[in-house]
Amino acid sequence: MVARTAGSQWLLVLAGSVALLSAPCASAQVNYQFVTVGYPGNANDTTGYGGVSYTYDIGTYDVTLNQYTTFLNAVASTDPYGLYNTNLGTDLNVAGISRTGSSGSYVYSVIGNGQDPVTYVSWFDAARMANWMQNGQPTGLGEVAGSTEQGAYTLNGDISSGLETKNANALYWIPSENEWYKAAYYDPTLNGGAGGYWRYATRSNTAPGNVVGSGTNEANYNNGVYSVTQSSSFPTGIVALTPVGAFTNSASAYGTYDQNGDVWNWNDAIIGSERGLRGGDWYDGATTLQSSNRDSNSPSNEDGGLLGFRLAGAVPEPTVAVNLIIAGGLLLTRRKRPSAL
């Protein structure tokens, strides 16, 4: 069996023995679930987006409070680059994550439901978490090369430009706009199997409802009433987010959840001096969910508890050593990624 760890290691398991084939020492802590987006070479939508010439992985869910808290505790005991926004501990609509201690010994804890998506995160925060995942999720190194500053993106302390492009060896990254768009709106079964696009990421051309549960075509957004209150009253003092995957029968065609509503997702598009956003959030209306809606913001902006992210990844491939074993006639199978924390 060949299995990919949370970093870039592959394990070869033969007759009960384990052999390490490659990569840096890692302490896997965040198990982030992906789906594979296939049917490479699909055409763009009429909006001009969505065409991707290769197969890739993308997060089934947004990064959660549990996962981001694990990341903070691994790297941000000092937090020189502001991975933690103090509003996460005080904004009751998205609470959140608390921080205790002083610089050099910060400790982070989840407030409320750890399966809610993390908010108050910038493009930089997402890029640094991607680097950390790429480097095998090291603990105790802080925000340095080999942890958050190099890997998928070469940041080297940048907290203002945010125009870095993904490195060629990236294993985890912020999805490109086309990658995000395809996973959300493309359906290879449409048009008699020729493929096509939905207007919403819930496999619908009609605006979703917003009742949490097992109904089809539902999302967390404001359709005249807020999802969590089912009234037009702003949800003051209560969490407005819904746990990732709460709309159980409203996935995209590829099986991603909440690409519409809950929180905006950063993407890797460079739009002037800004980075791309897609998908809408819990506070805004149906037009923000549509495939035609494209937005952007400063890469350092954390925007009032409305911004989150999901990661994309390379589809694991066997190493040369594994290919040689396959050639020798041994049967190897790929283990599925474990579910999200």
Which pLDDT band holds residue 318 (cuts at 50, 70, 90)? low
- Judged against a pLDDT cut of 60, whether residue 339 lies above it is answered with no
For the record, the structure tokens of 5 come out as 């760890």
Can you give the residue range of the structural domain that contains 185?
Answer: 40-317
Q: Residue 182 is inside which H or E element, if any?
A: helix 177-185
Pick 204 or 330 by higher pLDDT: 204
> For the residues 182-204, what does the mean pLDDT come to?
98
| Residue 279 CA, distance from chain mean position | 12
Mean pLDDT of the chain: 88
Looking at residue 26, its pLDDT comes to 39
**Within-domain flag for 6:** no
Residue 49: CATH number of its domain: 3.90.1580
> For the residues 68-92, what does the mean pLDDT come to?
97
Pick 15 or 209 by higher pLDDT: 209
Pick 17 or 207 by higher pLDDT: 207
Looking at residue 303, its pLDDT comes to 80
**Within-domain flag for 253:** yes
> For the residues 191-209, what does the mean pLDDT come to?
98
**Within-domain flag for 10:** no
Looking at residue 304, its pLDDT comes to 82
> How confident is the model over 241-275, as pLDDT tens digits?
999 999 999 999 999 999 999 999 999 999 999 99
Distances (CA, A) of 239 to 117, 177, 234: 11, 29, 11
Sequence-ordered list of residues with C-beta below 8 angstroms from that of 287, at least 6 positions apart, any chain: 293
Which pLDDT band holds residue 317 (cuts at 50, 70, 90)? confident
Residue with tokens 């702003």: 234
**Within-domain flag for 307:** yes
What share of the chain has pLDDT > 90, as a percent?
82
> How confident is the model over 118-159, as pLDDT tens digits?
999 999 999 999 999 999 999 999 999 999 999 999 999 999
Global pTM value = 0.87
Looking at residue 136, its pLDDT comes to 96
**Within-domain flag for 224:** yes
> How confident is the model over 299-315, as pLDDT tens digits?
999 988 999 999 999 99
**How many separate domains does the chain show?**
1
- Judged against a pLDDT cut of 60, whether residue 17 lies above it is answered with no
- Best mean pLDDT range from 28-42, 244-258, 327-341: 244-258
**Within-domain flag for 73:** yes
- Judged against a pLDDT cut of 50, whether residue 165 lies above it is answered with yes
DSSP 256-289: ---SSBSSEEEEEEEETTEEEEES--SSS-GGGG
Looking at residue 14, its pLDDT comes to 30
**Within-domain flag for 28:** no
85 — phi, psi (to 5°)?
Answer: -100, 125
- Judged against a pLDDT cut of 60, whether residue 341 lies above it is answered with no
- Judged against a pLDDT cut of 50, whether residue 43 lies above it is answered with yes
**Within-domain flag for 150:** yes
Pick 3 or 233 by higher pLDDT: 233
